[in-house]
């Protein structure tokens, strides 16, 4: 099984995957995803089909890597991490999701073009958020009996759903204005992984 893009260290593998992802992104600017074939992608990337299948099982896996990888890159550039205790870290994750979704899929044309493969985009971004959250939850102790995996999954979908709703608003507020609103919705979910001080809850409500 091909290793995850997040685990790639070999610069040659990274370069080939970047070529394939750039090729898919370029093609998606011209046609719908369901009209794009693996052959189209390999020709655009100037690699052969065998090379494609060395890295990805199909074009859906490539899309997942492209979306998830782009979001992970944004998180890495901003040095966003979640340690299971800090609301400001959760805010940074939410803001990154706002910026990524609004930049990539915020326009009407982009929304129409991506509607056919929206579930794939949702899965890629929520998986990326979940990986960040569960990494921090591993350092915290659950007081509810609910597994960190379930908490992280629930919170990641809550973040994505709220951000998606914001992106689709006709006259949406600035990202910095909506982040505290989403944080108030999400913190009770994240709090299930650890004890929450009363002062912290007050800070989130303010």
Question: How do residues 6-65 score in pLDDT, each as one tens digit?
Answer: 555 678 888 999 999 999 989 988 888 889 999 999 999 999 999 999 999 999 899 888
pLDDT of residue 114: 53
Q: Where along the chain do the CATH 1.10.357 domains lie? A: 63-205
Q: CB of 84 within 8 A of CB of 143?
A: no
Furthest CA-CA distance within the chain: 59
Residue 194 banded pLDDT, cuts 50, 70, 90: low
| CATH class, 63-205 region | mainly alpha
Token pair, residue 205, equals: 């409500």
Token pair, residue 206, equals: 């303010």
- Residue 179 makes CB contacts below 8 A (sequence gap 6+) with 91, 94, 95, 98
Residue 1 banded pLDDT, cuts 50, 70, 90: very low
Token pair, residue 78, equals: 């901003």
- CA 115/CA 111 separation, integer angstroms: 6
pLDDT of residue 135: 80
Q: CB of 124 within 8 A of CB of 104?
A: no
- CA 164/CA 180 separation, integer angstroms: 15
Quote the Cα angle for 163-169-174, to 5°. Answer: 65
Residue 83 banded pLDDT, cuts 50, 70, 90: confident
- For the question of whether the overall pTM of this predicted structure is more than 0.85, the answer is no
- Residue 50 makes CB contacts below 8 A (sequence gap 6+) with none
pLDDT of residue 139: 62
Question: How do residues 89-141 score in pLDDT, each as one tens digit?
Answer: 899 999 999 998 888 766 545 555 555 567 877 888 898 899 888 887 766 65
Token pair, residue 104, equals: 């990539």
- CA 93/CA 162 separation, integer angstroms: 13
Q: Where along the chain do the CATH 1.10.10.60 domains lie? A: 5-57
In CATH, which of 3.30.2320.50, 1.20.1420.20, 3.40.50.2300, 1.10.10.60 is domain 5-57? 1.10.10.60
pLDDT of residue 120: 76
- Residue 30 makes CB contacts below 8 A (sequence gap 6+) with none
Q: CB of 34 within 8 A of CB of 100?
A: no
Q: What is the DSSP letter of 4?
A: P
């Amino acid at each position: 099984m091909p290793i995850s893009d997040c685990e790639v260290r070999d610069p040659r593998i990274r370069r080939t995957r970047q070529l394939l992802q750039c090729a898919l992104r370029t093609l998606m600017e011209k046609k719908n995803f369901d009209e794009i074939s693996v052959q189209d992608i390999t020709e655009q990337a100037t690699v052969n089909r065998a090379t494609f299948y060395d890295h990805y099982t199909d074009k859906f896996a490539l899309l997942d890597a492209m979306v998830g990888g782009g979001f992970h890159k944004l998180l890495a550039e901003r040095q966003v991490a979640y340690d299971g205790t800090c609301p400001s870290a959760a805010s940074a994750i939410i803001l990154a999701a706002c910026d990524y979704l609004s930049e990539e899929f915020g326009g009407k044309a982009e929304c129409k073009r991506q509607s056919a493969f929206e579930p794939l985009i949702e899965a890629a971004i929520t998986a990326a958020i979940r990986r960040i959250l569960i990494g921090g939850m591993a350092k915290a102790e659950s007081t509810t009996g609910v597994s960190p995996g379930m908490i992280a999954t629930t919170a990641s979908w809550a973040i994505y759903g709220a951000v998606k709703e914001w992106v689709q608003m006709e006259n949406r507020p600035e990202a910095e204005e909506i982040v505290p609103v989403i944080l108030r919705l999400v913190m009770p979910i994240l709090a299930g992984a650890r004890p929450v001080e009363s002062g912290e809850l007050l800070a989130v409500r303010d």
